[in-house]
Amino acid sequence: MRYVMGIDVSTTGAKALLVNEAGDVICAVNTPLTLSTPRPLWSEQDPKEWWSATVTSIAGALERSGVRASDVLAIGLTGQMHGLTLLDRDGNVLRPAILWNDQRTGQQCDEIRARVGRSRLIAITGNDALAGFTAPKILWVRENEPEVYARVRHILLPKDYVRYCLTGTFATDKADAAGTLLLDLKTRAWSAEILEALEIPADWLPETFEGPQVTGAVTPQAAGETGLLAGTPVVAGGGDQSAQAVGVGAIRPGVVALTLGTSGVVFVSTEAPVYEPEGLLHAFCHAVPGRWHLMGVMLSAAGSLRWYHDTFAPASDYDELLAEAAEIPAGCEGLFFLPYLTGERTPHPDPLARGAFIGLTIRHGLVHMTRAVLEGVAFGLRDIFELIRQVGVAAMEEVRVSGGGSRSPVWRQILADVLGVELVTVNTTEGAAYGAALLAGVGAGIWPDVEAACRATISVTGKTAVDAEQHQRYERYYPAYRQLYPLLAPWFHALEH
């Protein structure tokens, strides 16, 4: 039997996943990572810990599975996007990596818009300047840590530092590169215009590759540390969301990936570069060669339910809590929940947005509030779907739902009824790491292309059809939900003064 490995360097852990050529998961080992917040709104990690945790996970997966290193044909990489990793000319880390959820760069985002022009920036990169992206972090280091900036010779994304440790090569995939705000979305190459405007040397950036392309091979030193075989090919892989989409088979127009995790992500593939004119959606390259995607992110999806459970019903079992909510009529008799507990990104890019229960009466009890949370998240995801429809992409024929929240049949039904589309679940549950493994399999020749890999390994396991009567009820409530943020936004902002 032959195997491939997917490595996922997330914010919380480094996972190594072994998959056989039939697509079966043989072993998964995850090693936790620590997160540093040295100041309010700052978020950093030590890149060297990414590597040590990856070493532990790879060695553990090989040992637990009994798979011989010589039977691992290729390795694919995925991980958290946007993080800034700075190396000197000898490949030494210069400072802790600044992560995707770091919020220190508001001033630098304004500077980027001023230097490039906001509309021109969106036209080239597909995105507006956001604090989470890589480019504003580079400017922040230049302006605030000039002694560090003077020594920079290489800029890498998180998973690509692990690639460097594995192979000694400086490389990235086009999907992850698109999240830096430095890539030309149409040409799938670094933008000379953006780099010149921001005065960032082009030779600091790694070469870009399509997701299944081989970027290097495991070095003897890395082999000694991990237990892998020296010379094992390492493919480009993809940023976490594009790899997640590969892992559930959302690789062609019409198939949508809906991830109901702590945050909520709506991901739709496109055959050409498409962007939302105001930058309200993310537009990135896909890990699938020659494809792109649009993505919307709500910051507190299943995170809203976790907050609600821990705050109001900590003694209750989640299944019991949600089963009771199924008995409450759609619309909760006029009770709404705004899920902006940690601000919001799509469609309202507002870090000052707040959560709220609106419409409470003496008739409402805890069970009404539970259902209102589920519906509020569903309405928020509907906002993203509506924005994607406005851009004019292909009809959304099938929505593949994954993530912890998707395990609830009650929540799946509410989502289907609010969105007005059938939801399906699939047999794969390892998400981005599984997608990275499939990309490795394509690179190794197990499958001829990504489409074939997904056809061979991913199947639909369940469907949640739309209840037409419930959908019509939500069609009456949704316009009222949409009015709430514009009405309350001035008050949210006033609270910060």
Catalytic residue IDs: 240
Rounded Cα distance, 226 and 229, in Å:
9
Neighbours of 445 (CB within 10 A): 11
With contact defined as beta carbons under 8 Å apart, do 149 and 95 qualify? no
Task: Please report, for residues 1, 375, 404, 420, 477, the alpha-carbon distance to residue 417 in angstroms, rounded to integers and kept in the order given.
Answer: 44, 10, 19, 5, 12
Q: How far apart are CA 267 and CA 292, in angstroms?
A: 10
Chain center to CA of 5? 20
Is the separation of the CB atoms in 426 and 458 below 8 Å? Answer: yes
Q: 330 is written with which tokens? A: 């759609």
Which SS3 state, helix, strand or coil, does residue 204 take? helix
Tell which residue, 491, 470, 482, has the closest CA to residue 336.
482
C-beta of residue 333 within 8 angstroms of C-beta of residue 362? no
Query: In degrees, to the nearest 5, what angle opens at C-alpha 303 toward C-alphas 302 and 308?
Result: 100
Which residues make Cβ contacts (< 8 Å) with residue 53, sequence separation at least 6? 13, 14, 31, 32, 33
3 state DSSP class of 338:
strand
CA 437 to CA 447: how far, in whole Å?
12
**Contact between residue 304 and residue 377 where contact means Cβ atoms under 8 Å apart:** yes
d(CA 175, CA 292): 8
